[in-house]
Structure 1
Amino acid sequence: MLPRQSPTVRRRRLALTLRQLRDSAGLTAGDAARRVDHDASWLSRIESAEVRPHPNDVRALLSLYGVKDDQAEAVIAVARQAKQRGWWQRYSEILPDWFSTYVGMESEASVIRTYECQMVPGLLQTEDYARTSFQGAPIPMRDDELQRQVALRLERQSVLSSSEPPVLRVVIDEGAVRRMVGGPAVMKAQIGRLIEDSQRSNIQILMLPYAVGAGFDGSFVILNFPPLPAPYPDAAEDQMVYVDTLTGALYLERPAEIAAYSAAYEQLQALSLGPKETRDKLSKVAADLAT
């Protein structure tokens, strides 16, 4: 069993696998669906991860595609895992569907690369910084909703201390740590948290300084997911780009899209200060706040 299993990731992986197996079998979605007593729209929703298929339906599809024995059982096991509830569903009353998907993906990512141009990344925020950022959000929220949002953000951070935590690589614009969120005391504590976290073996924090000139005007996250173990028939590592918006999000999966954002991240990383230089700069910013 993999640690930090996410039903969101399982549902997406199952959808990709079933589509690949159908293509390999030379069947259209309509043909395959009819041969297991369903219509084409049913299979299309499964292959786009819109619905979670029953394990018995998955078994029927695998038989049709010629997948047998241990490989078939491995896929069916993933189908069962995809129907479980994620820990974040406790927050369903304040968690929109578009962000619920991201939290599910983040929970099982093996590598998280993020660029932030305005704010400290959520996985590295202190409680006071998170609360202040929600208070200043463009869309107002009730006090009870705000407290739940803060609790969710802090619980997301537990992934960094799990038995097999992801590698977190962050490029943060200098403006994000100089932006006065909550006042000097809140920012000093937040910068101290960044300095402390940057010394953890699975976390790298780099600062993009003002001195490089124009940076990149949009934040984004690149998620890598670990391959499922054999005998699962699709053992490839997977990637996705997440781009946040005011009322939703973009989930980019095409190779060209992932390549473009990966290249942008590498360029931003190359322009940034190194890990030690970043800590030194953060210490200077914190000292400036004290005066």
Structure 2
Amino acid sequence: MLAGSHDVAVTRRNSPTVKRRRLALTLRKLREQTGLSSTEAARRVDHDASWLSRIEIADVRPHPNDVRALLTLYGMTGEEAEAVIEVARQAKQRGWWQQYSDVLPTWFTTYVGMESEASVLRIYECQMVHGLLQTEDYARAVFHGAPVPMRDGEVERQVSLRMERQVILGSEDQPALRVILDEGAVRRAVGGPKVLRGQIDRLLQESERRLIQIQLLPFGAGTGFDGSFTILDFPPLPAPYPDAAEDRLVYIDTLTGALYLERPAEVAAYATAFEQLCAVALSPSETRDTLRRIGQELAV
């Protein structure tokens, strides 16, 4: 189902990226509770020190048998251990996005995998409409105007990937979206007036849907933030998985890579910034009124 077609609800596709990250957090927490260093723990299950360190930062996907050995070392058995091992199996599966590996940079692959299974997305965009809310024409214009030139075939593959990402908005368990768009992002004539008008209509349509809140940060607010960012919340895995805590991270896109911030102080700073931006942005109803006016101006 492509974006804009909301007749049929679909089940969101599970993300091995999120499973690998949760597994990494759980194994690190269990090791730390035992008082073992990563070097000593790796040695006891017949691996070198760097092996476990890479697992604990979700850089590699461990074999389920190795996970079982680590859990035994950490004193975990029974249903909890089996739940962790099952997540290890799921983490080794291929993600749906790997069919786009020819145009998908490694650093963005991680984000797509996490976006696919987030429960809440808090998004601030200061330059253009976020990819989850873009029309095909707008997305195509974005890629044609990218700082790094792309061939036509690459552009179409990127557009297709972007539309595939939007499937989560029509899923039965779709994430909650709280989106703040700088006014400049919806006035910048990406693709020309006709394309932008279609994009404005799309934003109006999405703003009426459940679990989606869109706010404009107007020029008159006199404040802003000097870079786009996304805060992703992930739901806890169901029992008997041992780690029931919810977690979140911040994603920041750059021209040639990305930053993933996970330290509590870093995440808290961005969460505070987001709430402050919400407070000075237009309300959802005021945002719809403003979007309609912008759309009418484009129709003249």
Aligned-partner Cα distance in 2 for 1:15–1:275: 38
**Cα displacement (A) at 1:3:** 5.0
Counterpart of 1:49? 58
Quickly say closer, same or farther: Cα 1:190–1:256, change in 2 above 3 A: same
Structure 1 residues 191-210: aligned runs within 5 Å: 191-210=200-219
**Cα displacement (A) at 1:290:** 1.0
**Cα displacement (A) at 1:214:** 3.1
**Cα displacement (A) at 1:4:** 3.0
Structure 1 residues 82-161: aligned runs within 5 Å: 82-161=91-170
**In the alignment, structure 1 residue 8 sits paired with structure 2 residue 17:** yes
**Cα displacement (A) at 1:228:** 0.5
Picking from 183, 187, 191, the partner of 2:196 is: 187
Q: Secondary structure at the match of 1:112?
A: strand
Aligned-partner Cα distance in 2 for 1:66–1:88: 36
**In the alignment, structure 1 residue 283 sits paired with structure 2 residue 292:** yes
Aligned-partner Cα distance in 2 for 1:188–1:3: 30
Q: Which amino acid aligns with 1:263?
A: T
Deviations 1:216-270 (A, max 9, x none): 1100000000001111111100101000000000000000110000000000000
Counterpart of 1:238? 247
Aligned-partner Cα distance in 2 for 1:205–1:15: 33
**In the alignment, structure 1 residue 60 sits paired with structure 2 residue 69:** yes
Q: Which amino acid aligns with 1:30?
A: T
Counterpart of 2:33? 24
**In the alignment, structure 1 residue 75 sits paired with structure 2 residue 64:** no
Q: Secondary structure at the match of 1:164?
A: coil
Counterpart of 1:266? 275
5+ residue gaps, structure 1: none
Aligned-partner Cα distance in 1 for 2:226–2:37: 42
Deviations 1:12-62 (A, max 9, x none): 110110000001111111111111111111111111111100000000000
State how many pairs are aligned: 290
TM score, norm. by length of structure 1: 0.98
Aligned-partner Cα distance in 1 for 2:13–2:236: 14
TM score, norm. by length of structure 2: 0.96
User: What root-mean-square deviation, in Å, do the aligned CA atoms of Structure 1 and Structure 2 show?
Assistant: 0.9
**In the alignment, structure 1 residue 224 sits paired with structure 2 residue 233:** yes
**Cα displacement (A) at 1:94:** 0.4
**Cα displacement (A) at 1:100:** 0.2
Counterpart of 2:262? 253
Q: Which amino acid aligns with 1:32?
A: A
Q: Would the aligned equivalents of 2:12 and 2:167 in 1 still touch at CA under 8 Å?
A: no
Give identity over the alignment, percent: 70
5+ residue gaps, structure 2: 1-10
Aligned-partner Cα distance in 2 for 1:285–1:87: 37
**In the alignment, structure 1 residue 39 sits paired with structure 2 residue 48:** yes
